[in-house]
Chain A
Amino acid sequence: MNLNGANILLVEDNPQDVELVIRALKKQNLADQVQVARDGAEALEMIFDSGGKSGGLPENLKVILLDLKLPKISGFEVLEKIKNEARTRAIPVVVLTSSPEENDIKESYRLGANSYVVKPVEYDNFIAAVAQLGSYWLLLNRTGSE
């Protein structure tokens, strides 16, 4: 399993949320660039294997949308591993979670998150938020690999 050249890695265990995110990205014509990991372990595997045997960077990856409550390996652990590894440290990580907790926000930034977004409950707001994220990180934001 690898990233297959995707721009966005969505780490999310809730299939409904996955579908909603993809729907929102679809509206921005970004859906075909998404790869989904269902838990933390899968996410790490994808990120660290995608560089192939050469051990290089996952070339096209422009942003990781990371949920915090994940099976097997938690979002915090995934975040920590990405940010502790020199070759993955530059990849922007956006925490996308249901938790508005101060502690979660602080911990995320402490571990090196680039952004923290609380999933809105309401559909319209949710769609808008994800669409904004997609257009910002993929279209507006520049990473060093380009």
Chain B
Amino acid sequence: MNSSLNIEPSRFSLGGLRLRAIFLVLLAVIPLLGLTLYSYLEQRAEAIAEAQRDAVLVVKFVAKIQQTLLQDTNQLFQTFTQLPQVLHQDPEGCKLLFARVIENHENYTALIAAHPNGKVFASAPGTSESLDVKDRPWFKSVIQSRDMVIGEPQVGRVSGRFTLPIAFPVQNPTGQLTAVLATGLDLEWLGKFILQTGLPDKSTLLMTDSSGKVMFKYPNPEKYVGKQMPESPIIKTMISRKEGVMEGACAGGVSRLYGFTRFSSPNQEFYAAVGIPKDVAFADIDRSLKRNLLYLGLVTLLVVTAAWFGGGLFIVRPIKKLQGVTQQLTAGDLGVRTGPPYRSGEMGLLARDFDQMADAIQERDTRLKQAAGELNRRLLELNAAYKELESFSYTVAHDLRAPLRGIGGFSRILLEDSEDKLDAEGIRCLNIIQSEIKKMGNLIDDLLAFSRLGRREIRPVDLNMEDLAGTVSAGLQKSAPERNLQIQIQPLPPARGDRELIRQVLENLLGNALKFTAPKEVAVIEVTGEAKEEETVYCVKDNGVGFEMEYAPKLFEVFQRLHPESEFPGTGMGLAIVQRIVQRHRGRVWGEGKVGEGARFCFSLPKEAAEDKVIEGEQA
């Protein structure tokens, strides 16, 4: 029972219901995953925007601080111009003043005062050698503009630190330039100060003028400051867009978010940018994503596990049960049912429908068995009746022989022993009795032979029909040496059948041909054969007296004759026997003829070795 229908899906095959359930669950998880990722990207974009806004704010703040510092410086210098030490160009007094200021303002690296010819007459911190600043750009610039000048960042001569020089002219009331004051704004201090205002680690600060010259860079100011870098992507964007946000990577490879803005001093434009590392900006969001994904994974695992066991409990188990019951049913246990209570839903409906189907099958099976039983009973009855009939006809034929032998014997004894007491008429009568008894004996013999045919078992073998026909024909010729016979046996295809019985068929057909050609001077008898698709056909044709076709169907009936016995002797059993033998080989017989012109009798044998068996009474 398991051999043919074993297509049971393995536990893990894609066709399994369990995996389908899990697949559905996973399908439901996919939108959640999408949502999580979408939310992450949203937050990221938000974070970018926020970081950039922050950067802009910081830059603005930085600009503001710087502006404030410049204004403070300006005020400081304004104040200095009112002081007597400065007005009188008192080196010692100035030195003292400057030292005190620097002490209190760590954003200034140094303070100097110089004559208009560039000779420094006071500086703090102090220096032993005399300084001359007339070659400095900021000095030339302040001589020319008579206004506060912010120079280019440089390493201060006095402090030795990286500073932004700021110079201021001192004029007498007539407007004559009497001295130049200068200080260095400590850029490193400035950078540190700004970055300490709350920017994340590894943030960067960049400041340029409108030509793209780096005014300030933190960290590593010494590497960049003072260089013209208008082609740097960050600087380029900054100068062209004035204010905004951008992403970019600096030479170090760290990806940053930059916020940039423009600010101006009294006579110059500057650009400043703050870069915040992206990984810092995204750290929280990335953590949140990881956490969310972890939760989602845990939930998915939970749900999948639930689906696995739930699927087993609610889907696979009922189906397995149904499958088992189906297999039992297929194996022939028609009484098997899934049985109530039925679950609700499709599984329950399926189980209930299955039970109803099994009911229907069982009922039909019962009816079928009843019908088969009835049929079998009838068949047995029929068989019994058939056997009884066979036995009856046999017994009749058999038991008729004994009295017949008696009649024949004693009439003959009468003739032998009392011939002298009988007259001619008496002797004639006794002779008639004798010949009639002979006929009756023949009739009984043929009847017995016919009856035997019904019971005889057929033993099919391969037959060489040419040989068989030749043997039969030779026997016939020997039996009628006085006749002028022309028996032609054409090439005959082989056949399969019972040798004894098929020989009987040929004997009867050829015997008939011989008999009914008796009136002819020359008897021409032809045996032909033809192999067709499903059967082989053999025919015996003669040039005898023939028959009327309208009687053709009667030819094969028992004891049926178309000619008076006085003309052609015989019992009328020959063709009946032929028909019986051929039918038992599942073949056909037929005859055709024309009065005075001859007859042709044919029989066919199936090519498949199909022969019926004697019906057995014992069969179930």
Q: How far is the CA of A26 from the CA of B205 in the complex (A)?
A: 159
- Bound: A16/B434 CA distance, A: 17
**Complex: how many Å from CA A17 to CA B408?**
11
B391 → chain A closest CB, angstroms: 11
Q: Does any Cβ of B come within 8 Å of A56's Cβ?
A: no
| Cα–Cα distance between A102 and B452 once the two chains are bound (Å) | 9
Q: Which residues of A contact B448 (CB under 8 A)?
A: 100
Question: Given A98-B398, A100-B448, does the pair A122, B441 have CB atoms closer than 8 Å?
Answer: yes
Q: Using Cβ atoms and an 8 Å threshold, which residues of chain B touch A101?
A: 394, 452
B398 near A123 (CB under 8 angstroms)?
no
Contact with B along A8-29 (1 / 0, CB 8 A): 0000001011011001000000
Closest residue of A by beta carbon distance from B456: A102
A36-94 residues with Cβ-Cβ distance < 8 A to B are none
A17 touches B398 (CB 8 A): no
Is B401 within 8 A of A123, CB to CB?
no
B409 & A126 in contact (Cβ 8 Å cutoff): yes
Inter-chain contact B413/A121, CB cutoff 8 Å: no
Asked if A23 contacts B406 (CB within 8 A), the reply is: no
Which one of B402, B413, B445 has the greatest number of beta carbons of chain A within 10 Å?
Answer: B402
- How near does chain B come to A101, taking the closest CB pair, in angstroms? 8
CB contact under 8 A between A20 and B405, given known A100-B448, A121-B441: yes
Q: How many residues of B contact A (CB 8 A)?
A: 23
A123 to B456, CA, bound (A): 29
Pick the residue among B406, B412, B437, B438 that contacts A16 (CB under 8 A).
Answer: B406
Question: Contact at B402–A14, with CB atoms within 8 Å?
Answer: yes
Whether a CB of chain A sits under 8 angstroms from the CB of B181 is no
Instruction: Report Cα–Cα, A17/B413, bound state, in Å.
Output: 13
A98 contacts B402, C-beta separation under 8 Å: yes
Q: Kindly state whether residue B404 has any CB partner on chain A within 8 Å.
A: yes
Q: Are A121 and B410 in contact (CB under 8 A)?
A: no
Q: Which residues of B contact A23 (CB under 8 A)?
A: 413
B384: shortest Cβ distance to chain A, in Å? 19
In contact, A98 and B409 (Cβ under 8 angstroms): no
Give every chain B residue within 8 A of A20 (Cβ-Cβ): 405-406, 409
Known: A121-B437, A121-B441, A122-B437. A16 touches B401 (CB 8 A): no
> Of B405, B434, B444, which is within 8 A of A126 by CB?
B405
Distance, CA A143 to CA B399, complexed state (A): 34
Q: How far, in angstroms, from A93 to B226 measured CA to CA in the complex? A: 150
Given known A-B contacts A98-B398, A99-B398, A121 and B412 have beta carbons under 8 A apart: no
Q: How far is the CA of A123 from the CA of B406 in the complex (A)?
A: 9
* Cβ contact within 8 Å between A123 and B402: no
Question: Which residues of chain B are within 8 angstroms of A17 by Cβ–Cβ distance?
Answer: 402, 405-406
Evaluate contact between A16 and B409: CB separation under 8 angstroms. Answer: yes
**Cβ-neighbour of A121 out of B394, B405, B452, B456 (below 8 A):** B405
| A122 near B438: Cβ-Cβ < 8 Å | yes
- Write out, one digit per residue, whether chain B residues 250-285 have a CB within 8 A of any chain A CB (1) or not (0): 000000000000000000000000000000000000
- Measured between alpha carbons, how far is A93 from B394 in the docked complex, in Å? 26
Chain B residues with Cβ below 8 Å from A102 are: 452, 456
Contact at B398–A121, with CB atoms within 8 Å? no
Distance of A14 Cα from B403 Cα, bound (Å): 9
Inter-chain contact B404/A123, CB cutoff 8 Å: no
Of the candidates A98, A99, A123, the one whose C-beta lies within 8 Å of that of B408 is A123
Asked if residues A119 and B409 are in contact (CB atoms below 8 Å), the reply is no
Minimum C-beta distance from B353 to chain A (A):
59
CB nearest to B415 among chain A residues = A123
B456 — which chain A residues lie within 8 A by C-beta? 102
Residues of B within 8 A of A19 (CB): 409
Q: How far is the CA of A20 from the CA of B401 in the complex (A)?
A: 14
User: In whole angstroms, what is the CA distance A115 to B395 when docked?
Assistant: 23
Residues of A within 8 A of B445 (CB): 121
- Give the residues in chain A near B438, CB-CB below 8 Å: 122
A120-B405 Cα distance, complex, nearest whole Å: 8
**Nearest CB of B to A105, in Å:** 12
In whole angstroms, how far apart are the Cα atoms of A17 and B401 in the complex? Answer: 11
Question: How many angstroms between the C-alpha atoms of A98 and B445 in the bound complex?
Answer: 11
Q: Which of A23, A99, A121 has the most CB of B within 10 A?
A: A121
Q: Which residue of chain A is the closest to B457 with respect to CB atoms?
A: A102
Bound-state CA distance A28–B447 (Å) is 34
Q: How far is the CB of A4 from chain B (nearest CB, A)?
A: 26
Q: Is A119's CB under 8 angstroms from B408's CB?
A: no
A119 to B437, CA, bound (A): 15
Known: A23-B413, A122-B438. A98 touches B406 (CB 8 A): no
Indicate with 1 or 0, residue by residue over B429-466, a CB within 8 angstroms of chain A CB atoms. Answer: 00000100110010011001000100010000000000
Most A C-beta atoms less than 10 A away, residue of B394, B399, B409:
B409
Q: 8 Å CB contacts to A: which residues of B397-427? A: 398-399, 401-406, 408-410, 412-413
CA distance A98 to B412 in the complex (A): 19
Closest chain A CB from B432 CB (angstroms): 15
CA distance A101 to B444 in the complex (A): 14
Find chain B residues with CB under 8 A from A119 CB: 401, 405
Residues in A whose Cβ lies below 8 Å from that of B403: 16
How distant is the Cα of A122 from the Cα of B411 in the complex, in angstroms?
A: 11
- Nearest residue in A to B444 (C-beta to C-beta)? A121
Residues on A with C-beta less than 8 A from B406 are 14, 16-17, 20
Contact, CB under 8 Å: B401 / A98: yes
Residue of B nearest to A98 (CB): B401
Once bound together, how far apart are the Cα atoms of A14 and B398, in whole Å? Answer: 14
Query: Bound state CA distance, A16 and B404, in angstroms?
Result: 11
Closest chain A residue, CB of each to CB of B440: A121
Contacts of B394 in A (CB 8 A): 101
CA distance A122 to B406 in the complex (A): 9
Q: In the assembled complex, how far is the CB of residue B394 from the closest CB belonging to chain A, in whole angstroms?
A: 8
CB closest residue in chain B, given A13: B402
Q: Which residues of A contact B437 (CB under 8 A)?
A: 121-122
Let me know if A122 and B402 touch, CB within 8 A: no
Shortest Cβ gap from A112 to chain B (Å): 24
Whether B441 lies near A123 (C-beta < 8 A) is no
With A121-B404, A122-B438: A16-B410 Cβ-Cβ less than 8 Å:
yes
| Nearest CB in chain A to that of B405: its residue | A121
* Given A122-B437, A123-B409, 16 additional A-B pairs, CB 8 A: A14-B402, A16-B402, A16-B403, A16-B409, A23-B413, A98-B399, A101-B452, A102-B452, A119-B401, A119-B405, A121-B401, A121-B404, A122-B438, A122-B441, A123-B412, A124-B412
Sample 28 A-B pairs with CB under 8 A, ordered by A number.
A14-B402, A16-B402, A16-B406, A17-B402, A17-B406, A19-B409, A20-B405, A23-B413, A98-B399, A98-B402, A98-B405, A99-B398, A101-B394, A101-B452, A102-B456, A119-B401, A119-B405, A120-B405, A121-B404, A121-B405, A121-B408, A121-B437, A121-B441, A121-B445, A122-B437, A122-B441, A123-B408, A126-B409
Task: List residues of chain B with CB under 8 Å of any chain A CB.
Answer: 394, 398-399, 401-406, 408-410, 412-413, 434, 437-438, 441, 444-445, 448, 452, 456
Q: Report the 8 A-B pairs with minimum CB-CB distance, sorted nearest first.
A: A121-B441, A16-B406, A123-B412, A20-B409, A98-B401, A123-B408, A123-B409, A121-B405
